[in-house]
A and B are shown apart, each in its own frame.
Chain A
Amino acid sequence: MHAIELPSYKEQSPEVADRMARLRERPVIMEARSITKRFPSEQGENTALLNVSLHARRREFLSIIGPSGCGKSTLIRILAGLESATEGAVLLEGKVVSVPGPERGMVFQGYTLFPWLTIKRNVMFGLQVGGLSDMLAESEAMQWIEMVGLADFADHYPHQLSGGMKQRVAIARALANRPRVLLMDEPFGALDAQTRARMQSYLLQIWRKVDITIIFITHDLDEAVYLSDRILVLKANPGEVAELIEVPVPQPRSPKQFLSLEFLAVKARLEELIHPDSGVEDELPMLRLTCVDDEVT
């Protein structure tokens, strides 16, 4: 099938196996227990998620990937508490949570910086709401702004920043609250390819520096493999867990690994799971736009 012979995506080098073993010993930060979500629809009920369970351990990078309509956005919104599950429970460090809270930071796909606040004040927002004095909040916020490399833009307004910069501020704003988990809903989906690549490496750097567990939604296979320790693959109609993949690509990650055999093996497996009919082209109805005879003669 493949042009080059790929190893099994389940084969792990000793270092990776070791890391995975260590990961399994860490405490569970966020857990979803058999989440089911049904929406009322015209034909009775529509099941968006069916019995989805997951857990993310401390400092793990867990990606959730799946074809469109698999309910991955619904899932992360349930984890954040922005929507409620029809059945099942969300646990944060063993406690059930049902409403949004500062211990679960979230970065959205769209730009959700408050346009009336400067960058600094945006990052201070959660801290002030949490009851920190303005002075403390400001010095705390500046540290996070410096970490995402935007210190010189602290007094700018969001509309003066590029898309990638806005998402960096959004990450700083979520992290400033010291959340236990960072939920990211296709955060780089609206960015162009180069900016997205740069943002991915920023995110990995931040993840290495901060004690944070990341749950990351994406539909980009490369992005999922490049960033994650483990990838939860969902399938659509209804949204169910298809497979949980441990990524055999060694850490720390670098863009050079995009062409490594382990990387490609995982990607090939994801392709299989997400586009099961690959190989058979979707046939479009053909329209005759020109007369074939004209071109031949």
Chain B
Amino acid sequence: MSHAPWLAIRKEPPARRSAILTVLSFVLPLVIWCLVSYVPFIWHPLVEITDSGDSIYLEKGGLVDRASFEQENARIASENGRQARGVRANPVYLPAPHEVARAMYTAFTTEPRRPEEPWLHESLWHSIRVVFLAFWISSIIGVPLGILCGVFGLISKLFEPFIEFFRYLPAPVFGALAVAVLGIGDGPKIAIIFIGTFFQQVLVIANTTRKVEPALIEAAQTLGARGATLVRRVVLPAISPHIYRDMRILLGWAWTYLIVAEVVGASTGITWFINQQAKYRIYENVYAAILIIGVIGFGTDYLLGVIEKNLFVWNGGRRNRFFRFIMDPAPPIRARAAAAPGRSAIVREPSEG
């Protein structure tokens, strides 16, 4: 093991330690959950009745809190009846990890209670479609508008003050209005995610665009570029990795608005599923659905991160074999010759500080 200090300020831990810490960041919450679920004396505030004895109201399989259970047994004891028996248990709203893990599978295979209701995978697909549709609509307007605001002072002054005002209006307050205008289908849901994403998007993209190194634009100007050519050949490529990163963050916001949007009008999608399962008190399904949302969000972001590294090689990324295969043309002859060992045509300069 390395001897790097554990609490070094602003320093990356060594690679192996980083990997261990990453795994731990997921394992630790899981461990806490396991402890609370499987070790009886840590919490377990209730008693699950295994034998109701001579009790009048305790039922086998029922849950009562410990104080009531002991009181009831004390009463039975005073009447010389048969004691009720039970084991300590957690409330229904805290299922154990293995129950949730099982639910992650069974939730998909369990038939809906009523035939007209959607299966879990249908609910999930519905949610994903709504998020991506709304994000897509927001982006095809928001990204170009943001870039235009960042490039041209005129457009920035014309649009940004109003957008700045509008973004302080919380998207959910438009729920009733959206239903009135767009009916009870997916329309109002998409509208709410759009409102939540679009206005932030324009401002974020405009700010990113304004951060283009002015020296790069000036250099391009002295090389003869101007107007649309300057925007297309310098501004767009310069901001592209930053825009990409902005979009990753904004997609996360769109996901957050999904949950609000899905209870507007007729409840649908994953939110409907969660509410429904909570109503049936099948909490392991609730947890499973929440975890699935997390996995989809995290997975999408991870995937986008990998694509980012492979797309923007010039920004410090690195292409893996798959992306090299689709994106890089065959290397030119000169580069291959230069890569051949034993040939150094050029004296490399000593490194400069």
Binding site for B on A (CB under 8 A): 80-82, 99-102, 104-106, 108, 110, 112, 114-117, 125-126, 129-130, 149-155, 157-159, 162-165, 170, 173-174, 177, 183, 191-192, 194-195, 198
Binding site for A on B (CB under 8 A): 213, 215-216, 218-226, 229, 233-234, 237-238, 240, 312-316, 331-332, 334-335, 338, 345-346, 349-353
Establish whether residues B224 and A101, one from each chain, have CB atoms under 8 Å apart when the complex forms. yes
Identify the interface centre among A149, A155, A158, A177: most chain B CB within 10 Å of its CB. Answer: A155
- A191/B352 contact (C-beta < 8 A), A101-B224, A114-B237 known: yes
Chain B residue nearest to A196 (CB atoms) is B352
* Interchain Cβ contacts under 8 Å between A and B, 16 examples: A80-B222, A100-B218, A102-B223, A105-B222, A112-B216, A114-B238, A116-B238, A116-B312, A125-B225, A129-B223, A129-B233, A151-B345, A155-B335, A177-B223, A183-B222, A194-B350
Residue of A108, A153, A162, A194 near B218 (CB, 8 A) is A108
Establish whether residues B218 and A154, one from each chain, have CB atoms under 8 Å apart when the complex forms. no
CA distance A125 to B216 in the complex (A): 12
Establish whether residues B332 and A125, one from each chain, have CB atoms under 8 Å apart when the complex forms. no
Chain B residue nearest to A156 (CB atoms) is B335
CA distance A155 to B339 in the complex (A): 11
Question: B315: which A residues are within 8 A, CB to CB?
Answer: 115-116
- A112/B219 contact (C-beta < 8 A), A130-B224, A157-B314 known: yes
Q: How far is the CB of B345 from chain A (nearest CB, A)?
A: 6
Establish whether residues A155 and B332, one from each chain, have CB atoms under 8 Å apart when the complex forms. yes
CA distance A269 to B229 in the complex (A): 47
For the A-B complex with A157-B314, A164-B352 known, give 7 more contacts whose Cβ atoms are closer than 8 Å.
Answer: A100-B218, A104-B222, A106-B218, A162-B349, A162-B352, A165-B349, A177-B223
Establish whether residues A126 and B334, one from each chain, have CB atoms under 8 Å apart when the complex forms. no
Q: How far is the CB of A196 from chain B (nearest CB, A)?
A: 10
Establish whether residues A126 and B218, one from each chain, have CB atoms under 8 Å apart when the complex forms. no
Establish whether residues A112 and B349, one from each chain, have CB atoms under 8 Å apart when the complex forms. no
- A159/B316 contact (C-beta < 8 A), A165-B349, A191-B352, A195-B352 known: yes
- A151/B334 contact (C-beta < 8 A), A82-B218, A162-B352 known: yes
CA distance A114 to B238 in the complex (A): 8
CA distance A170 to B216 in the complex (A): 12
CA distance A151 to B344 in the complex (A): 12
Q: How far is the CB of B220 from chain A (nearest CB, A)?
A: 7
- A173/B237 contact (C-beta < 8 A), A112-B215, A151-B334 known: no
CA distance A163 to B316 in the complex (A): 17
Establish whether residues B223 and A173, one from each chain, have CB atoms under 8 Å apart when the complex forms. yes
Question: A151: which B residues are within 8 A, CB to CB?
Answer: 334, 345-346
Q: How far is the CB of A179 from chain B (nearest CB, A)?
A: 9
Question: B219: which A residues are within 8 A, CB to CB?
Answer: 106, 108, 112, 114, 170
- A129/B316 contact (C-beta < 8 A), A110-B215, A163-B352 known: no
